Amino acid sequence: MGIYVSLSIVSIVVALALVWQIRVRFSERGSYKNFTLIMLAVAFWTLVAMLEVISLNSAIKIQFSKLGYFGAVSVPVLFLFFSYEYEGKDYLLKRRWMSFFWIIPTITLALVMTNELHGLIWNEIYTQHQSGKLLILHYGRGHWYLVNTLYGYTLCVIGVIRIIITLKRSKGLKDHYIVILGILAPLVGNVLYQTRMVHFDYAPPTFAFMCICFAWAIISGFFEKKMAVAETIYEHLEEAIFLIDKNEKIISMNPYAAKVFKMKYSGEVIAAKGFFPFWGSLEGNLKKNMDELFEVSLDKTGETKWFSVHISSIGNNTKYPGWIVSMFDVTDKKLYQEELEKERTAAETANVAKSHFLANISHEIRTPLNGIMGFTEILAGTNLNQEQTEYLKEIKNASHTLYHLVNEVLDFSKIEAGKMELEKIDFSLSELVLSAVSLVKHDVKKKGVHLSSNIEVGICDNVKGDFIRLKQVLNNLVGNAVKFTEKGEVHLAVIKLQENDKDISLRFEVADTGVGISADAQKKLFEVFTQADNSTTRKYGGTGLGLSIAKRIIELMGGKIFVESEEGKGSRFSFEVELERSQKDTIATRESVDCIEEEIAAAANRRILLVEDIESNRKLASIILNRLGYTCDIAVNGKEAVEACSQRKFDLILMDCQMPVMDGYSATGCIRSQASLNNNTPIVAMTANALVGDREKCLAVGMDDFITKPINKDQLKSVIEKWCN
């Protein structure tokens, strides 16, 4: 007993002395609050346990045992809180969570004080040993005693694990064995008592020993090492760090922050409002009480610097409630972004310039091409000898080649700009196939190549989709097949993949026995401006845009295009698309085509106003209109067109867009706005402009339709049928 009492007295005195020492040394920080409470609880527990041991009265010993529980139930909870405090995560201990940990200790204290009524703590108490001045009582362990013991051990084990993990992270575990020894002491003491190997409860003095070990570590600065590491990082970090308290005062900043703001800082408290030039933005984010990230521009000595500002709320339950404001220099990143923006703007400007150039070059090429192709067609209908017919055929071929070249460039421009729009119209599959085959019938006849086509039995002929674009793709594939096939055959097939009540999936195949394509060339065949090799361009001509455009069109339709080829044996190009089933009657459509001539004849009394400034174009259009049986009035600019419309009613107006005096857009606006005879007359744009947006521009000013030059008889005939009949 003497050893136990002496050990207890020494533990109490040393513990209280260390409490006083810690409070003196660390009072300015408010640090180690939970550890101080542990030491006070252990000192009280040890004192009461010692008084219980030396008491010779059973009733008094029981009362001291009850009082000892105030310390015994507090130590595990406070020890867990200390482990969070030591780890630097005491901000996680919100008040509502802290209250939760005190529920079982509170119940235990209530049961201890009323144990005589239920025996849940001690189910029996009797004298185990008595000799002279020594009285030892046996306390039988009740059910709640076991619950409380398990709870206390659990909290202590969790706290020990957290402390050991933190020590391991700081690489201080092996160098501070005394801390580990202090942690193990209460465990050993309690095990000895619970197993009845000793008569006295050594838990209080061993807990006191643990506290002494921890107090030594605190006073010697061991637990401050993490703070020293943090301070080292704080001092040398290439990032401006500010600590702002809840009163919006800067209470600390690191050297880099002082360097950024070109000042000397010696630890004084500074009002944040007057210090930060961007306080307006910063204050708003501070008041949100949440982490924020934004950029500010700081202009010092004529040099603009950009900083990414990060705000972290420390919270009200920590030692330093307020905010940490960090500023990271992102000037290089900002300059890089600005450079990228300049390059993007320059690219957009160049793209606009390219579009304008294409529009101008298109207009300049199409205008004379309109005359060449139109008069070639008219000339072909006159009496020519064999030699003249051959020359005319060459002119026609050359002009058509130029026409397709211009169209390919313009189509590519539309696709590149993402403004190629598809339409859905009813059409006949057989008509689509026939048009593709008819286009090359003279070439295959000249070469002696066999040309065939087939539509799988059972495929509905009436479908809905973009007839013009599908025809463009097929024309390209069939044209290429004929171009690269010197002997053998070219075959076009349409195969059904699947079908339902609304849609039908088809595969179009174009196979030939031509020169074929090497495996390497196939990999880049659908790239822009690509052909199998340079000799292909020299021998066969072409821009290298055709297949690229075909691929983009099919992809716009939601389909895929494929190629299978072996050099010297031929090629097979195919594409798969899904089309809607049409409800329109093909027979009715064909009947209407058969009646065209009758309708045109019946419309001989129709009057059309032709507005065109270029004489050759006027002459060409007039000849075509007269041959179709229409009466044609002429205006050479928009002003004359407006005057003519105010004097006579017309059935249709063909309007050029670019003209001197008054252009077609302005003339259309005047005709539509005036209460004239022709404010409801159909106006069809007849222009050499064919870029993205040209059609929309015409429709926006009040025109009803849009055709591009060069014009031909079939084109004019079609638009007249549409608007005059």
DSSP labels, 653-689: EEE-SS-SSS-HHHHHHHHHHS-STTTTS-EEEEES-
State yes or no: pLDDT of 520 exceeds 50. yes
Question: What percent of the chain shows pLDDT beyond 90?
Answer: 19
Residue ending a domain, among 354, 385, 419, is 419
Give pLDDT, residue 388: 86
Give pLDDT, residue 604: 54
CA distances 135 to 59, 126, 263, Å, are 12, 11, 74
Confidence band (pLDDT; 50, 70, 90) for 137? confident
Query: Hey, what amino acid is at 130?
Result: Q
Model-wide pTM > 0.75: no
The CATH number of the domain holding residue 629 is 3.40.50.2300
Q: Mean of the per-residue pLDDT values for the chain?
A: 78
Are 422 and 460 a contacting pair, CB within 8 Å? no
Query: Hey, what amino acid is at 567?
Result: E
**Do residues 159 and 30 share a domain?**
yes
Are 422 and 556 a contacting pair, CB within 8 Å? yes
Confidence band (pLDDT; 50, 70, 90) for 538? very low
The 8-class DSSP code of residue 119 comes to -
Mutual angle of helices 103-113 and 58-72, in 10-degree steps: 170
Summarised one tens digit per residue, pLDDT across range 305-351 is: 777 888 877 755 445 567 888 888 888 888 888 899 999 888 888 87
Give pLDDT, residue 593: 34
**Do residues 540 and 620 share a domain?**
no
Where is average pLDDT lowest: 158-172, 240-254, 488-502, 587-601? Answer: 587-601
The CATH number of the domain holding residue 310 is 3.30.450.20
Summarised one tens digit per residue, pLDDT across range 564-576 is: 999 888 999 999 9
Decide if 501 is inside a domain: yes
Summarised one tens digit per residue, pLDDT across range 282-316 is: 777 776 655 555 666 666 555 677 778 888 777 55
Give pLDDT, residue 300: 57
Summarised one tens digit per residue, pLDDT across range 434-460 is: 888 888 888 888 888 999 999 888 888
State yes or no: pLDDT of 390 exceeds 80. yes
Q: How many residues does this entry show for the chain?
A: 725
The span from the CA of 477 to the CA of 574, in Å, is 9
**Do residues 280 and 339 share a domain?**
yes
Tell me the average pLDDT across 47-60. 83
Give pLDDT, residue 652: 94
State yes or no: pLDDT of 359 exceeds 80. no
Let me know the angle formed at the C-alpha of 277 by 275 and 283, rounded to the nearest 5 degrees: 80
State yes or no: pLDDT of 29 exceeds 50. no
Residue 348 belongs to what domain range?
A: 226-419
Where is average pLDDT lowest: 66-75, 81-90, 606-615, 700-709? Answer: 81-90
The span from the CA of 315 to the CA of 320, in Å, is 8
Instruction: Identify the burial level of 546 via C-beta atoms within 10 angstroms of its C-beta, where 0-12 means exposed, 13-18 middle and 19 or more buried.
Output: buried
The span from the CA of 585 to the CA of 625, in Å, is 31
Tell me the average pLDDT across 398-408. 76
Mutual angle of helices 33-54 and 2-26, in 10-degree steps: 160
Give pLDDT, residue 638: 92
Confidence band (pLDDT; 50, 70, 90) for 579? very high
Give pLDDT, residue 409: 73
Confidence band (pLDDT; 50, 70, 90) for 464? very high
Decide if 589 is inside a domain: no
Three-state DSSP state, 711 = coil
State yes or no: pLDDT of 156 exceeds 90. no
* Closest C-alpha among 300, 295, 269 to residue 282: 295
Sign for the CA dihedral angle at 507, 511, 517, 518 comes to positive
**Do residues 565 and 682 share a domain?**
no
Confidence band (pLDDT; 50, 70, 90) for 683? very high
Decide if 339 is inside a domain: yes
Give pLDDT, residue 322: 78
Helix or strand holding residue 398 (H, E): helix 386-416
Token pair listed for 528: 């822009």
Residues 6+ apart with CB under 8 A from 40: 19
* Closest C-alpha among 528, 454, 523, 440 to residue 484: 440
Give pLDDT, residue 589: 37
State yes or no: pLDDT of 660 exceeds 50. yes
**Do residues 107 and 130 share a domain?**
yes
Give pLDDT, residue 174: 44
Confidence band (pLDDT; 50, 70, 90) for 417? low
**Do residues 192 and 231 share a domain?**
no
Residue 503 exposure: Cα atoms within 13 Å on the Cβ side: 8
Decide if 674 is inside a domain: yes
**Do residues 303 and 220 share a domain?**
no
Confidence band (pLDDT; 50, 70, 90) for 668? very high
Decide if 586 is inside a domain: no
The span from the CA of 270 to the CA of 310, in Å, is 20
The span from the CA of 20 to the CA of 40, in Å, is 10
Tally helices (H) and strands (E) across the chain: 29, 20
Tell me the average pLDDT across 238-251. 83
CA distances 408 to 24, 338, 412, 470, 542, Å, are 89, 36, 6, 15, 10
Give pLDDT, residue 610: 94
Summarised one tens digit per residue, pLDDT across range 255-283 is: 888 888 777 877 777 888 878 777 777 77
Tally of domains within the chain? 4
The span from the CA of 653 to the CA of 276, in Å, is 69
| 486 or 359, greater pLDDT | 486
Decide if 596 is inside a domain: no
